[in-house]
Amino acid sequence: MNLQELRKKSIAFTRGKIREAIKEDVFIIQLVAHIEDLDRILNMLIKRLRDWYELTLPEVSNLIIKQEDFVDIIRKERKNLMQQFDIKESMGKEFSKKDLESLELLRQECEKIIQLREKQTQKLNELMQKHYPNLTTLAGGLIGGKLIELAGGMKKLIEFPSSTIQILGAEKALFRHIKFGARPPKYGVLLGHEYVASSKQKAKAAGRLADKISIAAKVDYFKGEFVGDKLKRMLK
């Protein structure tokens, strides 16, 4: 074998190793990070949209809390919204056509980001269900993906004790606890899970959920059988 052939084989071998190193969780981590980016951008733009719209019809902005609903409903004409919400007289000023055009451009931009976020979230759910069905059944696609991202990968996640999984996402609170002696965090992203959010004893609920998530993640990582439904029933 000459030097040229050896070099080609070496390059091919290296490429193969690089491909192997790109695990499923790398794509999941990127998707989660992108969704979080979109959330930050959307929150900023919708705050601007609300501030702007409240100059013309503040009553509607106060009535519609959900972001997606607000972006959708203000596509309607001002007079129609006043009739729909039984607003006899608004505190706001009626905008000119040119003012409305500028506002509509911002509204459309928010709408596009909402649609992109929905598509990326759907893709995340599909990847999570395909590669980590047990974790997804317990935590959901988005929270499960966030746990993988916060841990730095699935391999690292399964190495964490359930007590660490319980507070993933509460790093700032943990820092304040360590440095300033503030109260330690009792939960992180798991607070967004319905099981924890609806519980009167959120810390205990987060602990129980983290324990089952720890089991589910290990089963998924080592390609075990599906036990997600069984673990979920144990939470009831």
pLDDT of residue 21: 43
Report H helices in 132-161: 133-139, 141-151, 154-159
Residue pair 28/147 in contact by the 8 Å Cβ criterion: no
pLDDT of residue 180: 67
Q: Which residues contact 74 (CB under 8 A, 6 or more apart)?
A: 49, 53, 57, 60, 81, 107
Distance CA 103, CA 97 (A): 10
- pLDDT, one tens digit per residue, over 199-211 is 999 999 999 999 9
For 83-226, list the strands marked E by DSSP: none
Distance CA 1, CA 29 (A): 42
- pLDDT, one tens digit per residue, over 124-133 is 999 999 999 9
pTM across the whole model: 0.84
Mean pLDDT rounded to a whole number for the chain: 90
The fraction of the chain above a pLDDT of 70, given in percent, is 89
Other Cβ atoms closer than 10 A to 40: 10
